[in-house]
Amino acid sequence: MDIDFPLILVVLVLLTGLIWLVDRVMLLPKRMITIEKFKQRKSESQKQEASFEEAIETLRREHIVVEYSISFFPVLLLVLVLRSFLVEPFQIPTGSMIPTLAIGDFILVNKYTYGIRLPVLGTKIIGVGEPKNGDIMVFIPPHETKYFIKRVIGIPGDRIVYKDKKLYINGAEAPQEFVARLPPHNPTYLLYREKIGEERHYIQKNLFEHEELREWDIPVGYYFMMGDNRDRSSDSRFWGLVPEENIVGKAFAIWIHKDPGWNLPGFSRNAWIE
């Protein structure tokens, strides 16, 4: 079961903020009135005793739920702002972006490159920029509710053709430079360096798989996405185009990597993402 962390975070911020507000507006004034009445009942000599100060502190103290809410609210609010509008961490769960991204990579996603959006709802409230071909984008696909990460291949107005495992964007072939056979002695994959727009990146093709000619016209408000592991990627070729409102952000860096299982995380793959 996938956990909707953004929704949980928003609920916690609203809940702790509401408790803090109720305490300041309603409960705190009542406590102060109780303290004043308590002081009036005590003589000057009693007010000098240590037990008097302890009693005042007890009357002033918030309920444990209120105390924790006041402590956690600013922290949760800061996390919500950073995660919703600036940078969000994301872990790569599959090999669909090999060789660019590996299973276990932890990446950072810029949340404002493509516009400021409301948390959970995803509604754009401030336009900043638009995805361009070659970007690596995190999004919610039309058939799932969890995050996916792929490369932008087609933007609104583009015509995409995929023939003999080569891309044609608006009639122009995306250049591919052969790099290597993997593994060298008994190859099953071919490694290429491809250029889409201004971006150069590595892609991987299966040596023994073929794909028929396919074509797509990208309408306004939609994007065509593909994985760099071309024959091992569930992407727009199979489940369709990504609507603009499903965009999450642009991936820009690998900050840590952890191999599956009982392995410690490391920094050997730290790099900017191409």
Characterise 183 by phi-psi region: left (phi > 0), alpha (psi -120 to 50), beta (else): beta
What is the Cα–Cα distance from 35 to 29, expressed in whole angstroms? Answer: 10
Buried b (16+ CB within 10 A) or exposed e, 187-208: eebbbbebebeeeebbbbbeee
163 as an active site residue: the answer is: no
In the chain, the amino acid numbered 226 is M
CB of 167 within 8 A of CB of 153? yes
d(CA 221, CA 137): 15
Which one of 96, 111, 233, 250 is the catalytic residue?
96
Whether 84 sits among the annotated catalytic residues: the reply is: no
Which among 111, 150, 205, 250 is annotated as catalytic? 150
* Whole-angstrom distance, CA of residue 242 vs CA of residue 223: 5
Record the tokens describing residue 19, joined without a space: 């408790």
Measured between alpha carbons, how far is 164 from 205 in angstroms, rounded to an integer? 11
- Under a CB-based contact definition with an 8 Å cutoff, are residues 196 and 167 in contact? yes
Q: Which residues are catalytic?
A: 96, 150
